[in-house]
Amino acid sequence: MSLLDYTKALLNPTGLTGPSGLPLLPISIAHILALSFAAIYVGSLYVSNHTRLSFATDVDGKGVSAGVLQERERKANERWRDDPDVIRARLIAVSMASLTCCTAVEAIIATSTNATVLEVMNLTRKHLGFTLGSSLRPHLITPILFLGPLYATYLQQTLPFQKFWFPKQKFLNLIGLRTYTLGPLTEEIVFRACVLAPYHLAGCSPTKMVFLTPLSFGLAHAHHAWDTYNRYGRTRQAALKAVLGSTFQLIYTTLFGFHAAYLFLRTGSLLPAFSAHAFCNIMGFPEVAYEIRTWPHRKYLIILLYLLGIVGYVYTLPRWTETPGSIFWPSA
């Protein structure tokens, strides 16, 4: 690959092409790779006894009050998702899975081109979005969407430096490291960067990539249903909670996937998608009905800020993410 070809490759919105001008990968291979990356990530959570969860075989609703759906007491010989040793083992596992997927993307680029080692490294970095980005504005889009929930957080006095803000209890522990840092980072590396790269190499349009790829991210969360079913006593109610919870999680993680994929492709950087992911994990799912019931005297202001958040999101999303030179999205 000449320097001219290399420069064209970085600026080509339809991906790298071979000598015939066709995409380097067929779309069928891109599908297989995307599913493989998702399987590697989720599979890493069950690859060893240290990462796998274990539940007692004699539960069957014991320890759960009749008619009340509540989490049962954990038995001494069980391994639950929030156990410190489980979290540590899983963080190591998903970090290794992320490295494996990144290496696979680099190998695909290396074997599909005659580029030098340095060119392959640069192309891989670009395709994985390992850049700082050119602006802070993309990082502000998600908080704008959450104007309503942020106001409710202010009313709860749990914003940074307010009365009930406790960063040590929420962030500076293993659960915080998993939920707000390494979890979102490794998920965005795999389900955004590594999954989107093969589709870009296959010549998919940005629109197709935005709406085609997030489903794997949503489905990757389905395994939480087994955890919920066991923790809530293996009752019929527990099964219903697991199914409904996983369905809801599939929907909102897929919707978030559209948002994160758009941020990644428009900016050419993984950082806006990661910051959006971490922010959403911190905020949780918006609960406007609960907030209105809790602060009825602020009802109209809460509703107004929710609406302003939506309007602000629609306005800023295409404008604040435009990044000249992004290899994924041609400039207007």
Q: Which residues are catalytic?
A: 187, 221
3-state secondary structure of 252: helix
What does the alpha-carbon distance between residue 206 and residue 199 come to, in Å, rounded to a whole number? Answer: 9
Question: Hey, what are 73's tokens?
Answer: 């007491």
What is the rounded distance in angstroms from the CA atom of residue 308 to the CA atom of residue 241? Answer: 33
Beta bridge pairs of residue 17: 23
Cα–Cα distance for residue pair 110/16, rounded to 1 Å: 12
Nearest CA to 258 out of 296, 209, 311, 225 is that of: 209
Q: Which residues share a beta bridge with 23?
A: 17
List own/partner pairs for 181-185 with CB under 8 A and 24 or more apart: 181/278, 182/91, 182/94, 182/95, 183/91, 183/94, 183/281, 184/274, 184/277, 184/278, 184/281, 185/274
Distance CA 230, CA 148 (A): 35
Helix, strand, or coil (residue 54): strand
Helix (H, G, I), strand (E, B) or coil at 17: strand
Q: How many CB atoms lie within 10 A of CB 198?
A: 26
